[in-house]
Structures are given as C-alpha cells and as structure tokens.
Amino acid sequence: MAGRGLLFAMILALGAVSVAAQDTPIPDATAPDPADAEAARDISNDIFGSRRPVDMAYGAFQRGYYLTALERALPRAAEHDAVAQTLIAEIFAKGLGVGQNVERAASWYQLASDNGDMLATFELALLYQDGRGVARNRQRAADLFRQAAEAGSIEAKYNLALLHVEGVYVEPSLTRAAALMKEAADAELAQAQYDYGVMLMEGAGIAPNPAEGVSYVARAAEEGLPPAQVDYATILYMGQGVERDLEGAVEWYRRAADAGNPVAQNRYAKLLAAGEGIEPDLETAAMWRALARRQGVNDTALDEMLAAVPPETIARAELRARYWPAEPPSDGVPPASGFVPGPAAGADEPATTTQDPPAEDDADGPEAATEEGETQSP
C-alpha cells in the first residue's frame, strides 16, 4: 500500500511537469490523428507481435511523441504496469519532452524493477554503479546486474562478467566471466564479442583458442567497434593466427580512423607514408597525423617519415585536419584561430575495457601497438 501511495504521489507531481512541458518547442501531439495512431499500432506490432495488446504509449515514444507517450503511460503505471513505468523512467532519464530528472527516473526504474521489468533492473544497476540519481553503491549495482542477468538481460550478463573479472563485488572467477561473456557475445553484443575474443586468445578463464578468438574480434570489428577494428587490423598486419593481409589491415585501420580512433589515425598515417598495402599519400598521411596529435597521440617514427614533406603540403594537410570530416573551403582560407569544425578532441576515443586489447603490448613490428615512438599524452 505504501508503494501504491508513493506511485500516485509521483503521478500527481508528473501532472504539473507535463503541463509545463507543453510550452517547449519539442514536437508532440496529445491527440494524434488516426494515421498517427495507426502508425503507432504498426510500431507496437513490429516490436511486440500482433498477438499482444497494442502498446500505444510505446508506439508514440518510438515516433517522437514523448508527451503523448507519457500521458498514455501514466494510467497504466498507476496500475503497476512495469513496462509503462520503465517507459516513464526512460523519458525522465533522457529528458525527452520534459526536463531531465535522473532522480525521478531512478524512482520509476525502481518501481518497474519491483514489478519484474528486466530492462528497468538493468538501468537501475547502471545508476547505482555510476552514482547518478542515487547514492553510488557498487554492491547494490552488482546485485541488480545479477538479477537482470538471471532474467535474461544480455547487457547485464556482460557487466556481470566484468564484475567477475574484477572480483570485488562478486566472486572472482575468470571461468564464470568467460561463460557469461560468451553468452553476451553469441547474442551479438559487440563489446562482448571483442572481450571474449581477447579471453580466447589469451586463455583467460577458458582454454586458449587463438583462431576462434580472432573470429570473435573480427565480428566485433564488423559491428563497428573501433577498438576491435584497431586490434583486428593489427592481427592482419602481423599475421597473428591468420594469413598476413596488408590491404585488409589498411582497410580496418581506415575504418577505425574514420570513427575518430587516434591510434588508428596514427597507424593509418604510417601506412600511407610508407605505401604499405596502399598507394603512398604523404599529404593525407600528414592530415591523419594531425588528427591523432589532436587527441594526444604522438609518434616520432612517423614524424621522421614526414620530415622531408614540403611545408606547403603540410599546411594543406593541417587545413584538411581542421575541417575534418568535412572538406576545407575551395578558397583555402583557414578558419579563425581555435575553431575546430570536426569532432572535439577525445570525443571518439575508444571505450575502455577490463582487458588489454590483443597484441597491444606484446606485438613486434613497425605497426604493433607499442610501436617505437608512438606515445599518448595523458
């Protein structure tokens, strides 16, 4: 009864918020036309299947009608509908059509978790792990990750695997970590594919199987994970457990470089400068060097490779870097000092993991991860 009282108190508080939010410029419609309603039904059927009751709140949410979604979810939330409660939590957590309020989102996630919603339990675990909207409590986060993992959450299984590697808030067990990581990897979670591939190559918690490990890293690279793309490129360059493929290495370094990974930008620059697996292009090499430097990666070996490049070529390269990923203006006039149209420094740096990426510290050769002279500033 106390929980139900809290729930209605939250709904009353939300009433004032949703009214005030109607004045915001975010498009919404509290009474969508029949075509919109039909589209919402189609979205609901695509997500949940036609045999389940139509979820008009979720359909409105998917189409960007956040206030309509909130209005339609509130009555269901009052009846302990866990899915509706989670939807409300998402709206407040992300500030969709209303002011962002992580504390209120945490309360709704808790209600939905208590009512058995797996997604809410996982999201609540993340809040406790990071201390957002609630007091930071990693033990509570671990318990919630375990609860969500047992309910089938792939993301929770991945996070629980990391906790088993860490071995502080759950039992330390690389074997259990590997088993959970494999479940998440086989469910196509890119970060899990990458980490499980590393575990296979290193024999961490599982019998070593370098060939299978490479295949998992390759799958993560195909999913667009820049750290996996860098490591897969290095594997192809070195021929570690696979046939050496310089052109393949160039392509994967290029993809990761395009995604903003500074290590890939540096290595792609070296391949362009040396003409390995690709036609030499000193100006483009200098551009990628400038982009890598922007994020703190410096390489004396690359500097030496570009030392004889004419100053006017370097100037063109650095102008291209300032406008990247766009092209500089045709008149060649540089932007005002300090103006950087491209991504902010460090914005696309690769996500960290609990394992060191493969071949990063032990590889030998000119393009290995610890290449002579390649350093990253703090």
**Residue 151 in domain:** no
**Residue 96 in domain:** yes
Looking at the fold, whether 242 and 378 belong to one and the same domain comes out as: yes
- The boundaries of the domain holding residue 18 are 1-116
Looking at the fold, whether 102 and 247 belong to one and the same domain comes out as: no
**Residue 130 in domain:** no
Boundary of a domain, candidates 72, 91, 116: 116
CA 315 to chain CA centroid, Å, is 34
Q: Where are the alpha helices (DSSP H) in the chain?
A: 2-21, 34-48, 56-62, 66-78, 82-94, 102-114, 118-130, 138-150, 154-166, 174-186, 190-202, 210-222, 226-238, 246-258, 262-274, 282-294, 300-305, 311-323
Looking at the fold, whether 240 and 377 belong to one and the same domain comes out as: yes
**Residue 51 in domain:** yes
Number of domains, the chain? 2
Cβ–Cβ < 8 Å for 263, 377: no
**Residue 164 in domain:** no
CA distances from 206 to 168, 195, 197, 200, 267 (A): 21, 13, 11, 7, 31
Boundary of a domain, candidates 75, 90, 116: 116
The tens place of each residue's pLDDT in the chain, 378 residues long, gives 444 444 434 433 443 333 333 333 344 444 445 555 556 556 555 554 544 455 899 999 999 999 999 999 999 999 999 999 999 999 999 999 999 999 999 999 999 999 999 999 999 999 999 999 999 999 999 999 999 999 999 999 999 999 999 999 999 999 999 999 999 999 999 999 999 999 999 999 999 999 999 999 999 999 999 999 999 999 999 999 899 999 999 999 999 999 999 999 999 999 999 999 999 999 999 999 999 999 999 999 999 999 999 999 999 999 999 999 999 998 655 555 444 444 444 434 333 333 333 334 343 443 443 444 565 543
Looking at the fold, whether 230 and 106 belong to one and the same domain comes out as: no
Looking at the fold, whether 256 and 378 belong to one and the same domain comes out as: yes
**Residue 181 in domain:** no
**Residue 37 in domain:** yes
How many alpha carbons lie under 13 Å from residue 299 in its C-beta half-sphere?
33
Boundary of a domain, candidates 116, 138, 158: 116
Total-model pTM: 0.74
**Residue 126 in domain:** no
Looking at the fold, whether 254 and 372 belong to one and the same domain comes out as: yes
- Measured CA to CA, the distance from residue 227 to residue 241 in angstroms comes to 19
- Measured CA to CA, the distance from residue 46 to residue 84 in angstroms comes to 18
